């Protein structure tokens, strides 16, 4: 797909046949009355996962798909695969509009929200163009590769009155969702801190993964999950100290200690790529509250899931317990994510989990950790 910018409002409106920008509330009136119509841009692994999720969200309808691949536009999504979920299949796109260019999709007045499943380096231009066309945007994480692009996206959202939502799925996974609700409800008292981890083997299926300008490497493409998670739980850190290994211009693996305005918070993160093909993925946490500690540890070894520590609550008094959690299929987290996006559009209330501002903060945290590794000292945020 190509990106087109317009010289003035008259040219843009003529191309897209849109009305004047309105407030978020006014823009949501039609979506409250009818099902939210979504257009997916980019049919790869995440586009496939998002497609599966939309099949389970009653308030949303996949109405259009944009791709440069003619086979994908005919419904042949076989060959798509990633590190979780089922492989792509041949699907029926009857009733779904198919567009070879992004401009064609944006000219479709029936589309309420575009779902951008594209390389991170072009997120900003495609997002801003969608706002110019009067669409809400759900953009895959990371929000962008550069903090400057993320800032442009947030400003464009505010100017257009359309929602900018970044598809950070981690808070919707059962164990992480349990921890987030516990932190926000205060059921275990004040948060004291936590240790977080995430690692993968070399993701050879991601084109340009190690390119600092195209994808951003492990910090921007992988570790941003936990930077976003830490930002949600504890707020924005004030400084970070990081030690890491470099691969070219990007950090391959990092160990970071965060500082906050509340000096009593103790928060650290270990994440990145390790040369460990037989352990393709691992993540987990230990979160400390005044009245309890939450433990969780999961990995994939030899292509098999290994739950070495189910979510466990260790209370200050009494025996530990393992809460019953709904949702064992990873795709269910994306279903919850899409429902959150739908609620935001229906109510005109931005989701704090999906908010572009929070995603932009997470990206800043990733870059600050890289800066701390390169400089070999603490960096202020």
Residue (of 32, 31, 40) closest to 63 by Cα position: 40
pLDDT at 338 exceeding the cut of 90: yes
pLDDT digits (tens, 9 = 90+) for 94-136: 999 999 999 999 999 999 999 999 999 999 999 999 999 999 9
Task: Say if residues 233 and 180 touch (Cβ distance below 8 Å).
Answer: yes
Q: Residue 248, SS3?
A: coil
Cβ count within 10 A of residue 11: 12
Which residue is associated with the tokens 């195209």? 214
Residue 10: band (very low, low, confident or very high) from pLDDT cuts 50, 70, 90:
very low
* The pLDDT of residue 83: 66
Q: Name the pTM for this structure.
A: 0.89
* Residue 25 pLDDT level (bands cut at 50, 70, 90): very low
Residue 165 is encoded by which pair of tokens?
């939502």
| Of the candidate ranges 2-11, 116-125, 184-193, 309-318, the one whose mean pLDDT is the lowest | 2-11
Asked if 87 and 80 count as a contact pair (C-beta separation under 8 A), the reply is: yes
List of domains in the chain? 33-167 (3.40.50.720), 171-327+352-380 (3.30.360.10)
Instruction: Output the six-digit token pair for 89.
Output: 């299949």
pLDDT at 20: 32
- For residue 227, give the nearest of 367, 358, 362 by alpha carbon: 362
- What local confidence, expressed as pLDDT, does residue 34 receive? 76
State the pairing for strand pair 136-140/113-116: parallel
């Amino acid at each position: 797909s190509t990106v087109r910018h317009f010289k003035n409002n008259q040219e843009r409106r003529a191309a897209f046949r849109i009305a004047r920008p309105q407030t978020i509330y006014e823009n949501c009136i039609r979506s409250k009355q009818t099902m939210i119509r979504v257009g997916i841009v980019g049919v790869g692994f995440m586009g496939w996962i998002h497609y599966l999720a939309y099949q389970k969200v009653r308030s949303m309808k996949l109405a259009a798909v944009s791709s440069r691949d003619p086979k994908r536009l005919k419904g042949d999504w076989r060959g798509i695969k990633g590190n979780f979920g089922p492989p792509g299949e041949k699907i029926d796109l009857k009733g779904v509009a198919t567009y070879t260019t992004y401009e064609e999709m944006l000219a479709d007045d029936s589309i309420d929200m575009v779902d951008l499943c594209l390389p991170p380096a072009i997120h900003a231009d495609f997002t801003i163009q969608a706002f110019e066309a009067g669409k809400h945007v759900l953009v895959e994480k990371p929000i962008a590769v550069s903090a400057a692009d993320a800032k442009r996206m947030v400003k464009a959202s505010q100017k257009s009155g359309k929602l900018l939502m970044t598809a950070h799925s981690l808070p919707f996974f059962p164990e992480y969702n349990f921890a987030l609700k516990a932190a926000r409800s205060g059921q275990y008292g004040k948060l004291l801190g936590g240790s977080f981890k995430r690692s993968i083997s070399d993701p050879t299926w991601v084109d340009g993964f190690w390119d600092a300008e195209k994808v951003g490497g492990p910090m921007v493409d992988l570790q941003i999950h936990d930077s976003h998670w830490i930002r949600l739980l504890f707020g924005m850190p004030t400084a970070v100290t990081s030690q890491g290994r470099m691969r070219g211009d990007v950090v391959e693996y990092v160990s970071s200690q965060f500082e906050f305005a509340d000096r009593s918070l103790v928060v650290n993160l270990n994440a990145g790529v390790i040369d460990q093909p037989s352990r393709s993925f691992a993540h987990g946490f230990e979160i400390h509250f005044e009245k309890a500690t939450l433990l969780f540890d999961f990995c994939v070894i030899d292509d098999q899931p290994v739950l070495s520590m189910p979510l466990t609550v260790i209370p200050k008094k009494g025996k530990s317990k393992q809460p019953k959690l709904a949702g064992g299929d990873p795709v269910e987290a994306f279903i919850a994510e899409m429902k959150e996006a739908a609620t935001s559009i229906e109510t005109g209330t931005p989701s704090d989990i999906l908010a572009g501002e929070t995603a932009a903060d997470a990206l800043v945290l990733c870059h600050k950790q890289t800066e701390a590794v390169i400089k070999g000292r603490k960096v202020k945020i």
